[in-house]
Structure 1
């Protein structure tokens, strides 16, 4: 068993004449105790300097460090944009014009921006903070719980420093994940969640240019198609008041229920150097800390998957109707995006790492088929009116039996969907005020 004190390293074989970590001189003599305090003081001084350089972000995750790491990595890899901001704005205007005939929901984005990957990181970081804090708090608390009682008592005020180191480890992990994701996302809603600022659409031309390679379609055609998808997402998130909150709250609910095996943490603690945040990050990624999924989490995950599938399915159908025969390669692009979205990718890996779940709408095709059926039978007014209240939207069972759901929609009394949306907003506002 390794008897080296926690946080120190064994001497190199050629360190002749140096003290070993047991406190003895090479010749067998006992070292001066003041030297040990000096060594400890130097270590703590270096650790304090490292913490100060990493920023002073409050909370369980050091978001200052996360941003620094993401920006640094993207600065090394980000290519130049293939399209100008004017081209992005023109594509967005054309997409909005075509969408007007495909849905009753009006435009949701007041502007469409051309973002770099760095812009994406900066603009979406507040939402990532909301999604990552619950799991980080659970993990940070587990680290402290895993310490033996005597270690907690001896650590005293140093426990806050342990918390800072945990925040740095999470920040480092988040920064690397955001850099990877930021280098591949195509729009602000590419992973199905409203990560960016409200009423702001965004496309990432450099990533779109890289995505377009090998598709054998004109770059302008791909840009307009993706602009239509972004605009459709924005219409849904802007005019369905409960949807944004429901999606993010369901992710939070899943993350807040994470539990960690503290016995595994106790074993892992012997492998961590407190002066080296990378060793903490490696420990977190080792698989030993894999969270246990509870029944409540499974229920939350099922609700999230269904809601994501409904959003993506609706966008898929509306965009297909909007672009129609206007874009010759629309069908091929639609299938490419379907496979990319449903088969998993960087978004799923990132969420599995950061929040503990895979963000994948497994029933995307079933949801698209349901929206298509309802629209063909009852028109787009009835189809889009289903979004008026969360109790009206299809369930997972409805995705398996779309004909029954379409029959129920047809059996409801005729209503003005816009008026129904306004009524729902008034009721929710009254409930909040009361």
Structure 2
């Protein structure tokens, strides 16, 4: 546990406990129903492998090494806290080393770690009821949460999938396979493109290395963001939630904006590709895919309430929604222009990834990458 002056900077265990305590209860299902849902999600995850590889033409020899974990909301929280601890360790070590030795520093660190743990738990409790599935790229393996060698595991959050399929009133079996197609595409991206994980980790660590705020300022900004969740600020105006900025924007420095632009482009590609694949495969294996997509898009766009929209703004989830939309448009335009094989040149190296500008102008990517390779 990274600490400041002997005190934990972030009390991760308290974050998990808080998120677990505050998480909404999942939909009511019997024990037999729960077993059947878990078994079906595992079957769909397995069958989605071949569907995705056949549609995308992406070969991978490592998919079977990546575990599929069907989890509840506390399980999702524990997995993500483990990933956060792994990714943020260099940043927290840097803050510890740079902390001043002023009087009361250890006491402030101890109090700050507890407060930040509680408020991080609040954020995680909000997120834990909304995520349907997730490919964890940097997940450390534990006894309860295994991961592939070098990291990587696929999480399917069963209560959230059941809750959404009931809210949308769609065929549950079709919806479960549809979700698995999206998440399996992410697993194929990382297991089929050997350099992708290291490239993303390098970009993220460079982003974190550019953080210049002192520990107390960083924690204070994080607390301000979390407190706006607790008080409901921003229900009437998105600009009031963290002054209209997401948590990432609250803690970033000007030097990080260029890196964040590159990361945004990569994430737009990955999310848009997954959406394109799930809808491309869908008609052949998910009979009600058109109905599911229409209802799911409406849910994405409108959220559950004005408060939900404000919280999504604060957490940067509105940017995530733009990534789905813009990335899917990019992939669709490129495939229409040069076919799937031509699109797959995007996975050649970091240099063939689209820039943030090219995500919005896919023909510029086609001209750059295909002109270079064909000249």
TM-score normalised according to structure 2 size: 0.72
2:69 is equivalent to residue 113 of structure 1: yes
The change in CA–CA distance for 1:308 and 1:204 in structure 2 (over 3 A counts) is: same
What do residues 163-198 of structure 1 show as CA deviations (whole Å, max 9, x unaligned)?
122111221112222122112211124xxx636444
Cα drift, residue 204 of structure 1 = 1.3
Cα drift, residue 218 of structure 1 = 0.7
Across the aligned residues of Structure 1 and Structure 2, the Cα RMSD in angstroms comes to 4.1
Q: Which aligned pairs between 1:220-299 and structure 2 lie closer than 5 A?
A: 220-258=173-211, 285=227, 291=250, 293-299=252-258
Q: Which aligned pairs between 1:134-213 and structure 2 lie closer than 5 A?
A: 152=102, 155=103, 158-189=104-135, 194=137, 196=139, 197=147, 198-213=151-166
Cα drift, residue 264 of structure 1 = 8.8
Structure 1 Cα separation of the partners of residues 225 and 137 of structure 2: 31
2:20 is equivalent to residue 71 of structure 1: yes
When the two structures are aligned, how many residues end up with a matched partner?
330
Q: Where does residue 128 of structure 1 map in the other structure?
A: 84
Q: Where does residue 365 of structure 2 map in the other structure?
A: 405
2:170 maps to which of 193, 217, 220: 217
2:60 is equivalent to residue 101 of structure 1: no
Structure 2 Cα separation of the partners of residues 365 and 408 of structure 1: 23
1:379 maps to which of 339, 354, 369: 339
| Aligned 8 A contact 1:342 1:360 in 2 | no
The change in CA–CA distance for 1:263 and 1:308 in structure 2 (over 3 A counts) is: closer
Q: Which aligned pairs between 1:326-365 and structure 2 lie closer than 5 A?
A: 326-335=285-294, 337=296, 349=311, 352=314, 360=320, 362-365=322-325
What do residues 186-215 of structure 1 show as CA deviations (whole Å, max 9, x unaligned)?
1124xxx63644443221121111111232
Structure 1 Cα separation of the partners of residues 91 and 298 of structure 2: 29
Q: Any stretches of 5+ residues in structure 1 without a counterpart?
A: 1-56, 269-279, 415-434
Structure 1 Cα separation of the partners of residues 81 and 290 of structure 2: 34
Structure 1 Cα separation of the partners of residues 333 and 118 of structure 2: 46
The change in CA–CA distance for 1:343 and 1:350 in structure 2 (over 3 A counts) is: closer
| Aligned 8 A contact 1:344 1:360 in 2 | no
Structure 1 Cα separation of the partners of residues 334 and 181 of structure 2: 21
Q: Where does residue 321 of structure 1 map in the other structure?
A: 280
Q: Secondary structure at the match of 1:100?
A: helix
Q: Secondary structure at the match of 2:354?
A: coil
What do residues 50-94 of structure 1 show as CA deviations (whole Å, max 9, x unaligned)?
xxxxxxx975211121122223334x7244565532111111122
Larger Cα-atom Rg: 1
| Aligned 8 A contact 1:382 1:409 in 2 | no
| Aligned 8 A contact 2:273 2:328 in 1 | yes
Q: Which aligned pairs between 1:9-24 and structure 2 lie closer than 5 A?
A: none
Cα drift, residue 383 of structure 1 = 1.6
Stretch of structure 1 that moved more, 65-74 or 329-338: 329-338
Structure 2 Cα separation of the partners of residues 134 and 349 of structure 1: 28
Q: Secondary structure at the match of 2:121?
A: helix
The change in CA–CA distance for 1:230 and 1:162 in structure 2 (over 3 A counts) is: same
